[in-house]
Amino acid sequence: MPRHPDEEEAAVSPSSAPGRSRQEVRLALVLNGGVSLAVWMGGVTHEIDLLRRASRVAAGESEAGVGGVAEHDRAVFDAWVDLCRRADVGEVVVDVIAGTSAGGLNGTLLATAVARGVPLDPPGGDGGPRLRRVWDDRARLEEGRLLRRREEDPLPSVLDGDFFREAVREEIAGMGAAGGHRGRPVTLFVTATALGPATRPHVDSFGQRFDVADHRRQYRFRRTEDDGVVYRPGDGDADASWWQPALVDDFDGPDAESALVTAARASASFPVAFTPVREGPELARRRILPAAPVERDGDRWLVDGGVLDNAPFQPVLDAIGRRPATGPVRRLLVYVVPSRGQASTGLDRAAPAGHREQIPDGAGDHPDWTGVLGAAVGFPREGDVRADVEDAAELLARADARQAGPETLLRAELAAPTGAADGLLEQYRRARAVGGLLDVRTTLASANEGGGVVLAPATTVDLDRLLEQDLPWVPPPGTGLTPGPGGWAWGLGTAERVCRLLAGDLRDRAAQGEQPGTDGIGEVVSALTRVEAVRDAVSARLVEQAAGAPAEDVACAAWARQHIEALRAPAALAHCVQQAARGYASAVGGDLDTADVVRAALAVEVASQAFTAYGAFRRTAPFRFLRLGPDVDSPFVDTSEEDARLARRWGDRKLYGTRVMHFAAFGLREWRAWDWTAGRLDAQAHLARALSPDDDETRTRLADWLAGVQTATVHAELGRDPAAWREERQALRTVGDDDLIGRLRSTSKGEHLVVAVVDAAMRALPLRLALDRRGLLLNTLLARRPQQRWRPPWAPAARLVVRRRWKRWTDGLGRRTVGERG
C-alpha cells in the first residue's frame, strides 16, 4: 500500500533482501509512574529486556552474543525464543525510551543496558533478577535506607535522596563495566520540572508579545547508529567529505555517569518525599527543552518530571521518525502506565453518589470540599496526559492516512507528467514562506529567544514582503519543478520529504515482489541521513545565535537566511537530493534519468503540500499504539471470559503500589516482590499478544503459552502455585489503605516503621519547600520532639490538646484491621 512521503519507516537499507520472512519489531517505550509503582514498572522493564535479547537468539544470534542468560530467567527466556520463532518475529529492538518520575529511573537503566550492549540482568547473580534485588534492598522504608536517620534534624525531606542517588550510581556504573561490548542505537528522554521563573515567549495574531510559564525540562541521551554522520561543510563544491563519521554516545564518557544519575534522580524527585536536585552542567548539556545553550551552568533545582509532563510522547514520535528502517519493520509505541488509564485525578470521587445533574441546596448533598480540592490539584496532570494521547492519536491517524498515494503519484509522474502540480506552485510558495518562517520561530522559541512562538502566523505575516526576499526555503518564481538556483532552492523540509518519498517507494516495490538494487537503496538511505545532519547543524546554529534574532518577520527571515547560507546548506542539500535521485534510478533500473526523478518527486511535493505547508516541519512514521497496564487478564488463572473481564476491570487493584498515596510497595519486601511479579505477568500478556497473529488458532495456542510462562514466572519469583496467586489477587481487590497499615502494625518492625515515617514527615514539614512557617507550627504542636526554632507563647497549652488528639489518631491508623479501633 502506498505511503505518505512524511513516513520515516518508508526508509529501507541494503539489508532488506528480497524474500526476508522475519519482520523486525521496534519498541518505543513511554514509561509513566511514580513512587513505589516503580517496582511494578521494574518487572515490566525486566520482561522487555528478556524479550529483546531472546528475539536475537531466535533470529540466529548466540546466547553469548546477547550477554548470556541468568539461570532464574532460563525458562521464560527459552519461551520467548520459541514464541518469536513461531510468530515469525525478527529481532525485537528497543530503540526509543522516555521516562517520567519513577519511569525515568527504570527507563534510564534499560536504555543504559541497550546503549552499552549488556543485559539488564546479567548471568551470575544470586537471588533472582538484579533489578528486582535493587528494589528489594534499596527501596526499603528503613532508617539508613530510603528513610532518613533520626539524628538529622530538621530533615530536608522525608526520604533520603542521597541514598537513592548513590544506589542509582552504583547500578549504572556496574553496567558493562568490563567493556568489550557492542552497544546498540537508542535514544532516551527523561523529564523533570524546574523550580524558579521560567517562561517561553509567544506572539498573538496582532503582533503582541506575551509570556507563558513553562517549567518543563526534557533531557536526551543518544547512542547513534555506528554509521552516523555529522555535517561539517568545507570549501569548493559539496561532496561526501562534508559529512564526517560520528558516533554520538551520551552513555559513555567522563560526564555520562553523572548526567544519567542526575536525570534519573531528578525525574523521580517526588516533592517533599525527596529533596530537589541541582541540574548541573553535565545534565544541562543534554537538555533539549529549553535548548542546551539556555542556562548552560545548570544552576536550576529540579523536581519530579511527572508534576508537569506525565507522558512525553512528542519527542518520542520525532525520534521514531528519525530511525531508518532496515528492511520489513513493525513499530509499536508502548505506553507503560500502572493504572487502568490515567491515575484518578479525584474528579470521579468528588461528586455525590448518583452523579446527579442538579444537586439540591442541602449541604449534605454537595461534593465534599476535600474531594473537590483533590480534583483541582489533579486537573493539570489529567490535561497533560490527555493532550499527549491526543497528540499521539493525531500522528497515528496521519501516519495511517495513505489514501492520497504519494508514491502512486510518483510512479505516474515518472511514466509521464500528470499535471497534478499545475497551477499550484504559487500557492505552494506562499505556504512554504510561512511554514519556513514558523520553523525558524519554533527553533528560536526552544532557546527562549527571538520573536517567540507565533500564533496564527498565516494571518500576521506580510506575505508579499516576505516573498520579495530570497528565502532559502522558497523556490523563486520561474523555478518550475527543477532544483532551482544554487542547486537547491526548496529548503530543508522539502529535501527530507523528497528523500523519504524515494525511500518509501523503493520499500513498497520490494514488498510487492520487485527487487530494487541494494546499492541504490543504500545511496537513498545515506542521502536521507545526510539531510538530517544538515538540519541538525542549522538548528544548532540558530539556537546558538538566537539572542540576535530580530522580532520582525521579514528581518527574522533575512537573519535566518544568513546563517543557513553561512553553513552552505543549499549546496549540501543539492548534493543529497542528487545522490538520492541517482540511487533511486539505479535501484529501479531501466533508463530513468536523475533529472526526471527529481522533477517527479517535486511534483508530488507541490501537489501534496500546497495547502498543508503552512505549519512547522513535523516528522511522523507509521506505528501501532499499545497501552501496557495492569488491567489485563492472566491466562494461567483467568480461564473463563468472566474471569478475564473481572481481571481487566480490577487491574490496578492488584498492586500494592497504587495504595497509601503510591508508597505502599515500599513497606514490605513481599509487597515489592508481588508488584514486581505482577509487572512481569502483565508485560508477558500484552507483548505476546501484540507480537502474535490475531486468529482463533493462534489465540488458543497463545493462551496455553501464556499459562505455562506465567506459572513458571510466579513459581520462580514468589514460590507460589496459580491457586495461591489467584487467592491473593482476589483479596487485594477489597483491601484498603487502612488494612495495609494494619498489616504493617501487626509486627514490631512494622510498628516501628509507621512511627518512623510519621516522625520523618513531621520533621520535614518546616522546610521552605514544604509548609515553611505553617509547617513549623504543625511541628510544634504535633511532633514528638518539636523544634525550638519558633514557638508562639500559646503553643505549650495548645500542644497538650492537639498533640493528644494527633497521637490518638496516629495510634489508630490501621488498628481496625486487628480489632483495636472503635
Nearest-angstrom CA–CA distance, 73 and 8: 36
Per-residue pLDDT band for 196 (boundaries 50, 70, 90) equals confident
**Does one domain contain both 461 and 541?**
yes
How much is the pLDDT for 479?
93
**Does one domain contain both 735 and 754?**
no
Better-scored residue on pLDDT, 273 or 65? 65
Give the single-character DSSP code of 279: -
Among all residues, which ones are annotated catalytic? 101, 304
Domain end marker among 293, 315, 336: 336
How much is the pLDDT for 304?
82
687 in a structural domain: yes
Better-scored residue on pLDDT, 369 or 466? 466
The DSSP result for 320-357, as a single string, is HHHS---SSEEEEEEEE-SSSSSPP-SHHHHSPTT--S
How much is the pLDDT for 453?
59
Q: What is the domain count for the chain?
A: 4
**Does one domain contain both 605 and 545?**
yes
Distances (CA, A) of 126 to 77, 130, 206, 795: 17, 8, 67, 55
Nearest-angstrom CA–CA distance, 309 and 381: 8
**Does one domain contain both 767 and 734?**
no
How much is the pLDDT for 4?
37
Cα torsion 770, 776, 778, 782: sign: positive
How much is the pLDDT for 307?
64
Summarize pLDDT for 381-439 with one digit per residue, the tens.
554 566 667 766 776 666 655 444 788 899 999 999 999 999 999 999 999 999 999 89
Amino acid found at 595: A
Summarize pLDDT for 76-116 with one digit per residue, the tens.
999 999 999 999 899 999 999 999 887 888 999 999 999 99
**Does one domain contain both 101 and 165?**
yes
Better-scored residue on pLDDT, 180 or 519? 519
**Does one domain contain both 664 and 762?**
no
Residues 6+ apart with CB under 8 A from 414: 592, 596, 597, 600
Peptide bond preceding 154 in cis form (omega within 30 of 0): yes
Summarize pLDDT for 545-557 with one digit per residue, the tens.
988 998 888 999 9
SS (H, E, C) 240-256: HHHEEECCCECCCCCCH
Cβ proximity of 139 and 39 under 8 Å = yes
How much is the pLDDT for 380?
47
**Does one domain contain both 156 and 280?**
yes
**Does one domain contain both 258 and 138?**
yes
Return the CA Rg of the chain.
29
Distances (CA, A) of 679 to 36, 82, 650, 651, 724: 13, 21, 15, 11, 17
Which residue range(s) make up the domain with 764?
750-771+792-811
**Does one domain contain both 174 and 145?**
yes
For residues 667-694, give the mean pLDDT. 94
**Does one domain contain both 165 and 130?**
yes
Cβ proximity of 475 and 564 under 8 Å = no
Give me the percent of the chain exceeding a pLDDT of 90: 43
11 in a structural domain: no
Better-scored residue on pLDDT, 365 or 520? 520
Classify residue 423 as exposed, middle or buried by CB count within 10 Å of its CB (0-12, 13-18, 19+): exposed
**Does one domain contain both 601 and 707?**
no
The DSSP result for 627-670, as a single string, is EE-S-S--TTT--SHHHHHHHHHTGGGG-GGGSTTTTGGGT-HH
Better-scored residue on pLDDT, 509 or 241? 241
120 in a structural domain: yes
617 in a structural domain: no
Better-scored residue on pLDDT, 748 or 418? 418
How much is the pLDDT for 343?
46
**Does one domain contain both 741 and 755?**
no
Better-scored residue on pLDDT, 18 or 659? 659
Amino acid found at 265: R
Summarize pLDDT for 320-338 with one digit per residue, the tens.
888 876 566 889 999 998 8
Domain end marker among 313, 336, 359: 336
Better-scored residue on pLDDT, 620 or 469? 469
Classify residue 14 as exposed, middle or buried by CB count within 10 Å of its CB (0-12, 13-18, 19+): middle
Model confidence at 371: pLDDT above 70 = no
**H or E stretch at 280:** helix 280-284
9 in a structural domain: no
- For residue 745, count other CB atoms closer than 10 A to its CB: 22
Domain end marker among 336, 360, 380: 336
How much is the pLDDT for 401?
52
For residues 169-193, give the mean pLDDT. 85
Distances (CA, A) of 587 to 506, 514, 582, 625: 8, 10, 9, 33
For residues 235-262, give the mean pLDDT. 93
199-208, 343-352, 441-450, 699-708, range with the lowest pLDDT: 343-352
How much is the pLDDT for 318?
84
Better-scored residue on pLDDT, 167 or 148? 167
Mean pLDDT for the chain overall = 82
Nearest-angstrom CA–CA distance, 750 and 732: 19
13 in a structural domain: no
Residues 6+ apart with CB under 8 A from 100: 31, 32, 190, 191, 267, 305, 306, 309, 310, 311, 312
Give me the percent of the chain exceeding a pLDDT of 70: 79
Per-residue pLDDT band for 459 (boundaries 50, 70, 90) equals low
385 in a structural domain: no
Per-residue pLDDT band for 687 (boundaries 50, 70, 90) equals very high
For residues 353-361, give the mean pLDDT. 47
Nearest-angstrom CA–CA distance, 238 and 240: 7
Nearest-angstrom CA–CA distance, 365 and 346: 17
539 in a structural domain: yes
